[in-house]
């Protein structure tokens, strides 16, 4: 059975304090690893897709990386507006299903 585990469940940072969120996966034949950001009362907002080990993607203060067993979302010098739940999801590509992790609730204090 495919599994995606995110850690930590919650993370509090001070503004400017860089850190990383982890997403470990057990998915046979991974075809895509996706990162989303979700604000309260909103739908998940797509951030990145990673397709193969060693791949990296960047957007503003966020950088996503992928290995054969896990993905990291690095947040550099976060700001309060980066506060959100970050979701990781994996796809086999053999069907349309995504296996989601439970998310990491990030709070950045000013």
Partner 1 sequence: DTEVTQTPKHLVMGMTNKKSLKCEQHMGHRAMYWYKQKAKKPPELMFVYSYEKLSINESVPSRFSPECPNSSLLNLHLHALQPEDSALYLCASSQDRSQPQHFGDGTRLSIL
Alpha-carbon distance values, 29 to 17, 22, 49, 99 (Å): 35, 20, 16, 13
Q: How far apart are CA 69 and CA 16, in angstroms?
A: 29
Decide whether 17 or 104 has the Cβ nearer to partner 1: 104
Instruction: Find residue 68's DSSP bridge partners.
Output: none
CB of 86 to partner 1, least distance (A): 11
Decide whether 15 or 46 has the Cβ nearer to partner 1: 46
- Reduced to 3 states, what is the DSSP secondary structure of residue 61? coil
Site string for partner 1, 82-101 (x = CB under 8 A): -----x-x-x-xxxxxx-xx
Characterize the bridge pairing of strands 70-75 and 62-66: antiparallel
- Using CB under 8 A, pick the residue from 31, 77, 80, 107 that binds partner 1: 31
Residues that bind partner 1 (CB under 8 A): 31-32, 34, 36, 41-46, 49, 51, 87, 89, 91, 93-98, 100-103
């Amino acid at each position: 059975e495919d599994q995606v585990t995110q850690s930590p469940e919650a993370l509090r940072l001070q503004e400017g304090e860089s850190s990383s969120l982890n997403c470990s996966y057990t998915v046979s034949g991974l075809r895509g690893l996706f990162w989303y950001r979700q604000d309260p009362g909103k739908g998940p907002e797509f951030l990145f897709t990673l397709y193969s080990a060693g791949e990296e993607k960047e957007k503003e203060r966020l950088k996503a990386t992928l290995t054969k067993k896990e993905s990291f979302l690095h947040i550099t010098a976060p700001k309060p507006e980066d506060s959100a739940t970050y979701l990781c999801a994996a796809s086999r590509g053999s069907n349309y299903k995504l296996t989601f992790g439970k998310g990491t609730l990030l709070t950045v204090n000013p």
